[in-house]
Structure 1
């Protein structure tokens, strides 16, 4: 990863230089063969890192997720394509294994109301991978993550949940009216709504055929990472390669969640998980 090789004070200069060079050479660069669309706090960082280890798979040069189809869609495809590897170098790098496959991972793509429509318009043949997690655990982990980064000042998870509807009121309408509008609340405070997976996957299936979409849950992945990784390589049609070991990345220490509040949230998600099971044709791992 480019930014790991450059001193931190030089990151801004290096980033702007990289973007300029990327745009100037965009016609010679790859586009992604697949995108990891989320969900947030579902183990996507772990999956991203282990996919990037595969000798056929190539990641963007700076960020794992580019947010082009969410936050930067007012830019053009030259900017987007400029973040991916050069085709010529990629072919040399992967020649022992097969054709190179580029990808990115953005956990906002699955939840954003317009991202999947935009992806389908610009990359109709791209493959989609979605990773899900116990909705209560995901929501709680997201709050800890946003609070630790200073994006949520609510004093507790319970308070953040109680504020969610008020915070998100009118945000979808503002996003629809202005492509450049970045909703802080929609991106950082949608704890319950981001865990309602069925409605998000229905939007995915509105724009992509099911054979282009692979859905897995983090409980099953962390229980059997080799088996789930093999299924992904088969889905992508790439060489059957495995990492030497699977490590968990970007996890946060667990804190106790009151049983009464957990039960309240779990009851809320029962209907949504039933919808998900019907949509996928199987019960999600956290409900088995």
Structure 2
């Protein structure tokens, strides 16, 4: 018993002086594009030590960022006492859309590697709305509940300046990616699409691990069995509203194609 207490005291005494693991990888977005499942898959790797939670949010939360770098460090895992080659990551999908996140990341983590998963912006908006729609009885986030129907929310946002919208602007990927492309070397950013991730999660995870300098391990169960934040939808998008949204996003997708040198395969209209 005394030996156990001594070990616990020693651990508490040593912990403040142990170095923290710096993120080797940031999953920057997009929101509602499978980043929770991707995080859960990546942290199955034996060399990856997960942070306190999936979304640390430091670079896209102005209040958290104002608390300083030490606030972020406290949320990162301690470097294990034994072994080498340990890694960690931060998967906060709001980093992609936040106007200052890329600059902040470049300042603090200039050598970090980045991953973004892009989703059909119409489906992304609908999934995002569904998440906020279901927060009514949430013990912490009930104040974020969106009582509007999807059509009501979109009708309002389609008449607003884009920068003031919640759902629509997050699907305008070109200016979001431009901020990162302008600040980081081209080979530092990996881009995937949500349909590609759904079809071949093992291939996406393998590519990301290689991006981090890690080998693909043998997992206990197939990665496609990982399910994170999966919510059933009571109904689909009304066809006329879907068409209006596709007309709205058409020039934004053309801008994305110009930026990337071709249109990524975002089509998932066969399902939600």
Deviation at 1:222, TM superposition (A): 0.8
Deviation at 1:278, TM superposition (A): 2.6
Deviation at 1:166, TM superposition (A): 7.0
Q: 1:124-143 alignment to 2 at 5 Å?
A: 124-143=110-129
SS at match of 1:267: helix
Bigger radius of gyration? 2
Deviation at 1:55, TM superposition (A): 1.2
Moved over 4 A (4+): 165-169
Superposed CA deviations along residues 244-273 of structure 1, whole A, max 9, x for unmatched, are 312231122132111111111112222222
Which deviates more, 138-147 or 267-276?
267-276
Contact 2:102/2:183 (<8 A) preserved: yes
Equivalent residue in structure 2 for 1:234, among 195, 202, 210: 210
Residue 84 (structure 1) aligns with: 76
Decide whether aligned partners of structure 1 residues 136 and 165 sit closer, same or farther in structure 2, where only a CA change above 3 A counts.
closer
Q: 1:39-78 alignment to 2 at 5 Å?
A: 39-61=30-52, 63-71=53-61, 72-78=64-70
Superposed CA deviations along residues 157-208 of structure 1, whole A, max 9, x for unmatched, are 1111222367778xx7xxxxxxxxxxxxx6xx61111011111111111221
TM norm structure 2: 0.82
Whichever structure has more helix as a proportion of its residues is 1
The runs of 5 or more residues in structure 1 that have no matched partner are: 1-20, 173-185
Deviation at 1:135, TM superposition (A): 0.8
Residue 28 (structure 2) aligns with: 37
Q: 1:80-229 alignment to 2 at 5 Å?
A: 80-89=72-81, 91-92=82-83, 95=84, 99-150=85-136, 151-164=144-157, 190-229=166-205
The runs of 5 or more residues in structure 2 that have no matched partner are: 1-11, 137-143
TM norm structure 1: 0.77
Contact 2:18/2:79 (<8 A) preserved: no
Deviation at 1:236, TM superposition (A): 1.6
Contact 2:195/2:267 (<8 A) preserved: no
How many pairs does the alignment contain?
A: 243
Residue 266 (structure 1) aligns with: 246
Equivalent residue in structure 2 for 1:286, among 263, 266, 269: 266
Q: Distance in 2 between matches of 1:83 and 1:256?
A: 38
